[in-house]
Structure 1
C-alpha cells in the first residue's frame, strides 16, 4: 500500500483554484473564442463520453409517446445538447431539449452558426433564473462546468439542479498528470488559433479528483469515475412505479 501511495503522490497534480481560463475573460478575443466553441465538438466527441452517458443514463428514462424535458446548463458551443437531441430522435424517443448559458457570447455563437432552429431551445439564462420562474425538467445535464465554479457557485448549481429535475448528470474532467500531458500534447497545434490548448490544460488543473468532488457533494449525490479521466456527478430521484428511487440507467418496469 505504501508503494501505491507513493506512485499516486508522484502522479498527483495540485489543484489550481485561482487561475482563470482565457474564455472566461469578457474581453477575450472573439474570433479565438468562437474558434474554441467550434472545436468543442471534436474535443468532446473524443474525451467527454456523452454517447455512453446517453445510452446508459438518459435513453432508459425516455419514452416514445411521452415527451421528456432535458435542460443542459452552460452549453458553450452547443454540441452536447444538439447531440442528445439527435440521438433521442434517431432512437424514436421524444425529448425536448433546452440549453442555457448566461454568457451572451455563447448565445451569439449558436445564432451565427444557425443552430437556434435545430431542435434545441437555446437561451441566454442561468439556472437560478429558471428556478425562480418555476420551470421544471426531467433531466439536467452539464459538461465541463463544475471546474469553472467557486464553492458557492457549485453549491448553487447543485441546489438549482435538484430543484429543476429528478435526474442530474454533471460531467467533468478528473485531474491527473497523464490526462494533463496527453491533452496538452494533442492540442498544442491548436494553441495559436483558439483557447482549446491553454484553457483545456488549465481546465484539467482546475478540475477535481473523485475524492475531492465526493467531499464537496451534498448528501444524495454520487460521483462516478468514467474513462478516460472523467467524473460524473449524479443525483437520481426518478421513481419506479412502486414509488422507490430508481438507479440511473435502469428502465422502469412495464
Structure 2
C-alpha cells in the first residue's frame, strides 16, 4: 500500500475544541485497549528503570505532540511510576490541543503544557531525561520526521521512543471497520483510516533513522500494527 499524503482533518486546524476533544477521546480508547499504550509504556518502563534516570533528582519527561494530555495522565497513574518523582512537559504545535491538555491536566502540578514545534524544540540539549512521541509520526512528511527524531535525540539524556501505527492492509481494513461501527465523531471516521495510510512501514521507519544519523536507534514491531522507534543508551 503506497503511503498517502493527503491531510487529515486534525492537521487542518479548523476543528472546534469540543469536536477535537471528542475525536481524540475516541482515538485514546482505541490506543489504550488495542496496543498503542502498552507498546509505549513497555519501552518507557525500561528507561525509567535505568539507574541514570534519577541520578539528578527528579525525572524529567517530555511528551512531544502531546494532544490533549491523556498519556501524561495515564503515566502518573501507571503502577510502575509509584514512588518516582516525575515531571512531564507537554508540547504541541496546535494551540487548541494545548488548551485542552492544560485544562485536562490542571489538577496535577506534575504536568505542564505549551505550544512548540516538535521539529524545532525550544529546549537546550539534554534538557530532559526521557522524551516520547505517540501517534504523531504519520502526520509528518519524511523531512519533518527525520528532524523530529534528531530533536528527540538532542533534548533527551537517557533515551527516547516514538510509537505509531504501521502501514499494512489489514490495519487499514481494521480502521475502516472501527470507522463503520465504533467511532461516532466524523473527524475520527475520516482520519482513522487515513492515519493508517499515512503511516510508515518498518522498513521506512528504519530509513528515517538512517537519514537522521542516530546511532543505536532501532525499530520494534508490536501487536497489533504498531511500530516503536527507540534509542536507549
If the TM-score is normalised by the length of the shorter chain, which range does it land in? 0.7 to 0.9
Q: Is the 8 A contact 2:138 2:198 kept in 1?
A: yes
SS in 1 for 2:106: coil
Unaligned runs of 5+ in 1: 1-12, 238-254
* 8 Å Cα contact 2:9/2:187 also seen in 1: yes
| Residues in 1 aligned to 2:56 and 2:207: alpha-carbon distance in whole angstroms | 40
How many aligned positions are there? 222
Task: Report the counterpart of residue 38 of structure 2 in structure 1.
Answer: 51
1:134-171 deviation digits (Å, cap 9, x = unpaired): 56101110111111111221121111111101301000
Larger radius of gyration: 1
Measured on the aligned residues, the alpha-carbon RMSD in Å equals 2.3
From 128, 138, 152, the counterpart of 1:137: 128
Q: Give me the TM-score of the superposition, normalised by structure 2.
A: 0.85
Matches within 5 A, 1:152-191: 152-165=143-156, 166-189=158-181
Larger strand share, 1 or 2: 2
Write the deviation string for residues 19-78 of structure 1: whole angstroms up to 9, x where unpaired. 000111122344322211222321210234323542443442355993211101001121
How big is each residue's C-alpha offset from its partner over 1:156-207, in whole Å with a ceiling of 9 and x where there is no partner? 1111111101301000000111111112212324555341221111010001
- Structure 2, unaligned stretches of length 5 or more? none
Q: How does 1:229-248 map to 2 (within 5 A)?
A: 229-237=225-233
In the alignment, the residues of structure 1 paired with residue 47 and residue 231 of structure 2 have an alpha-carbon distance, to the nearest angstrom, of 13
Residue 117 of structure 1 is matched in structure 2 by 107
**Structure 1 CA distance for aligned equivalents of residues 14 and 178 of structure 2:** 27
Structure-2 residue corresponding to 1:217: 209
Q: Deviations over 1:115-139 (max 9, x none)?
A: 23323112222242323x5561011
Counterparts of 1:153 and 1:64, CA distance in 2? 33
Cα separation, 2, equivalents of 1:64 and 1:235: 19
